Amino acid sequence: MLFGAFNGVLVAYFKIQPMVATLILFTAGRSIAAWINNNELPIISDPSFGYWGGFIPGIPIPTPFFIAVICMIIIALVLRFTNLGLYTQAVGINESSSKLNGLNPAFIKFLSFVILGLCVAVTGFIKVSRFSTINYSVIAKDIEMDAILAVALGGNPLGGGKFNIAASIIGAYVIQFLTTTLYALKVPSDALPAYKAVVVIVLVVLSTPIVREWLKNFWKKMKSKQIKEVA
């Protein structure tokens, strides 16, 4: 959450692009972890710690599934019974208008990054549990591509605005399905980011106003053509 607050300050108060701000810690984060651990990989020997990233004895469902469900319920309740969801969408859609309506866009952006830091901490906790070691060079490697893909597949605008968490969750499952399928097709793990990058490029291009307008006009022309043929 502290690192999330750091990113939030860069974005909200110093007006740095979110991608650039997060890229700073993305680059420096592993070096900071190596420095904190004296370039060692601490091993967690307690077997029960592995339950968080694996299975609880006697329960066939992976523990991360329950953690994910709990996190989704908490976020859903927060968005349902507080104004955070409305304020966040208002700032994302039009920051100037939200400010004129009495909101504090900088603080809302800052708070969003703090919450993001908490979510990343939960993810890191699960990853460390799976490896039973703090391997900062491997844990959550290339996961940023999956995060972008999940948001894009959920139909959420990458530039900010109105969002749909449920659609993003479905997008995350689609990404996992894509990853599993590529592994089944014996695609090397090193090549997976390249395939995912192609999907990101296609989604970004399709989400641009020019392409969306062209597709909309094309669909209208096809529909009118079908009506004329029937007539």
* Whole-number Å distance between alpha carbons of 143 and 139: 9
Q: What pLDDT shows up at residue 115?
A: 93
pLDDT along the chain (231 residues), means of 10: 94 89 84 85 87 91 92 88 88 89 93 92 90 79 78 75 80 84 84 80 77 85 77 62
- Spell out the domain ranges in the chain: 1-141, 146-231
- Please name the residues in contact with 37: beta carbons below 8 A apart, sequence gap of 6 or more: 134, 136
Long-range CB contact pairs, 24-33, < 8 A, 24+: 26/144, 29/3, 29/136, 30/136, 30/137, 33/134, 33/136
Place of tokens 């004129």: 100
Indicate the pTM of the whole model: 0.77
**pLDDT per residue over 111-143, tens digit each?**
999 999 999 899 889 988 988 888 877 777 777
Surface-to-core class of residue 11, CB atoms within 10 Å of its CB (0-12 exposed, 13-18 middle, 19+ buried): buried
**DSSP structural state of residue 62:** -
Q: Which amino acid would we find at residue 223?
A: K
Q: What is the pLDDT of residue 231?
A: 62
Phi, psi of 43 (to 5 degrees): -105, 135
- Please choose, from the candidates 113, 106, 107, 102, the residue with its C-alpha nearest in 3D space to the C-alpha of residue 15: 106
**In this structure, are residues 117 and 4 in contact, taking their beta carbons and an 8 Å threshold?**
yes
Tokens for 21, please give them.
Answer: 């701000």
Q: What is the pLDDT of residue 118?
A: 94
Residue 41 has which token pair?
């990989």
**Helices and strands (H and E) in the chain: how many:** 10, 0
pLDDT recorded at residue 6: 94
State the Cα–Cα distance between residues 54 and 132, nearest whole angstrom: 10
Residue 220: what pLDDT? 85
